[in-house]
Structure 1
């Protein structure tokens, strides 16, 4: 059984990353702060705050532990199978698709607080033999969400796949997310083959070639014009590895990124 209730704990001063969020997430910030960016908006969740993250989203995140302390969260993952089962049992359905923020701040509510406190003894809940207890705790989370934030019904029980989006606008906004091509295709409402075909019609280039050029152009701008450090920029624009980024950058522009940066990552 995959983990659906997860505790996160970090002692690093900061930890950056990015991810595709395939399921809805109810989360509680126990300590520290967590900042999200969806390509358009930035949202920060502080100690003691609750949040709801919509499924099928691309997010970058920055985890900030408190001074001399640990970053801690509890996250409850509400997958489609769980929500469909709940829908059949309790008769909840979405009235219509709704457009909300990717990360929704949930106002303080005693129900949320008591629920999260009740999870703390169940750190090993995902172990074999706890399936029934896990199911009950997930049902409880959904019932509390519906009680405290009834408007989320149309989000929780909307099981439709992403609709066909404006491919050019989507890629211009999300090129810096380092996800597989099939993920970009899915999020724009296309099969991988259709995505590639539509992409080449619009950009007159293959997706992989365009993404590399776009990311390098953005990196050049950030380093040369904004004075950013190479070590800060390469992850931000969608590269996984600094050495690969440096090689591609020098091949494209004839100069190493560290030669442009006011502060080399090795200094």
Structure 2
């Protein structure tokens, strides 16, 4: 795998990837504004999946379980510019900017229509990646402020996402897990996103599901994979990543143990 990252600052980076496939699962601590230059990325969240290609601009919201599957397209590598919209920067930005947009409690990935202001803001970043040495924080802050100002201009509802600084509170555990079980995240992340300590999460989970989180998660992920194989007629190699497994061999072993036959024999 050939993955290169060039930073203007810790909050603005250019990534270039020339491998066959790259997958990551995370809940980001900050919103991420992505400008896709080339390649293709599939992003999966609860109840929604997206495919982004050259020219697309979108926002991945913080504190939402997200699977990112990236691959080059033909001989074209994956390239993207990412801005980390940290809570600290956003608090400073919104300090003197009241807004009336309703707060979005559970935001989804948000794509932005093509707009000359947004295109100009993002393409102006590219020359900075050629610089050597320390990039002035003052200029980086200006570029992020410019991006935020443009987003507010072209999408008035964005304030309901970027201007919401609340941390996850205690929510319904069963509903959350039924929607997000396919994300291969640490139990500590699941506990945080449901507003619980890890000990409380484990206790509440056993009470609700009458089994351990690990066993329940494996069972649910295999059920999802079986459905995709049997009803959607997909291949094991196209299913295991989206079902929450890290590699095909582990998926095949777990599938055979649960169902008594290999995933390739499902018809």
| TM-score bracket relative to the smaller structure | 0.7 to 0.9
Alignment counterpart, residue 63 of structure 1, candidates 65, 70, 82: 70
Q: Which runs of 5+ in 1 are unaligned?
A: 263-267
Which moves more between the two structures, 245-254 or 203-212? 245-254
Q: Is the aligned partner of 1:50 residue 2:57?
A: yes
Using a 3 Å threshold, how does the CA distance of structure 1 residues 226 and 143 change in structure 2: closer, same or farther? closer
- Which SS does the other structure have where 1:28 is aligned? strand
Contact 2:38–2:78 (CA<8 Å) still a contact in 1? yes
- Which SS does the other structure have where 2:65 is aligned? strand
CA distance in 1, matches of 2:160, 2:80: 26
1:87 paired residue number: 94
Deviations, residues 75-111 of structure 1 (Å, cap 9, x unaligned): 11101111123234xx135655225751112122221
Give me the TM-score of the superposition, normalised by structure 1: 0.83
1:147 paired residue number: 153
Deviations, residues 55-78 of structure 1 (Å, cap 9, x unaligned): 111222343534432322211110
Give me the TM-score of the superposition, normalised by structure 2: 0.83
Q: Which runs of 5+ in 2 are unaligned?
A: 1-6
- Which SS does the other structure have where 1:9 is aligned? strand
- What is the deviation of 1:199? 1.3
Contact 2:103–2:159 (CA<8 Å) still a contact in 1? no
Using a 3 Å threshold, how does the CA distance of structure 1 residues 183 and 93 change in structure 2: closer, same or farther? farther
Deviations, residues 8-62 of structure 1 (Å, cap 9, x unaligned): 2233465444332321122212223333221312223332232222211122234
- What is the deviation of 1:6? 1.9
Contact 1:9–1:71 (CA<8 Å) still a contact in 2? yes
Alignment counterpart, residue 18 of structure 1, candidates 25, 38, 42: 25
Using a 3 Å threshold, how does the CA distance of structure 1 residues 62 and 248 change in structure 2: closer, same or farther? closer
Contact 1:215–1:238 (CA<8 Å) still a contact in 2? yes
- What is the deviation of 1:182? 1.4
Q: Is the aligned partner of 1:78 residue 2:89?
A: no
CA distance in 2, matches of 1:183, 1:227: 32
Kindly tell me the number of residue pairs found equivalent between the two proteins: 259
Which moves more between the two structures, 188-197 or 73-82? 188-197
- What is the deviation of 1:187? 1.7
1:197 paired residue number: 203
Which moves more between the two structures, 249-258 or 175-184? 249-258
Which moves more between the two structures, 202-211 or 93-102? 93-102
Q: Is the aligned partner of 1:3 residue 2:13?
A: no
Using a 3 Å threshold, how does the CA distance of structure 1 residues 239 and 173 change in structure 2: closer, same or farther? same
1:33 paired residue number: 40
Contact 2:107–2:161 (CA<8 Å) still a contact in 1? no
CA distance in 1, matches of 2:106, 2:70: 24
Contact 1:93–1:153 (CA<8 Å) still a contact in 2? no
Deviations, residues 221-261 of structure 1 (Å, cap 9, x unaligned): 43455543333332221121333333333333344445x25
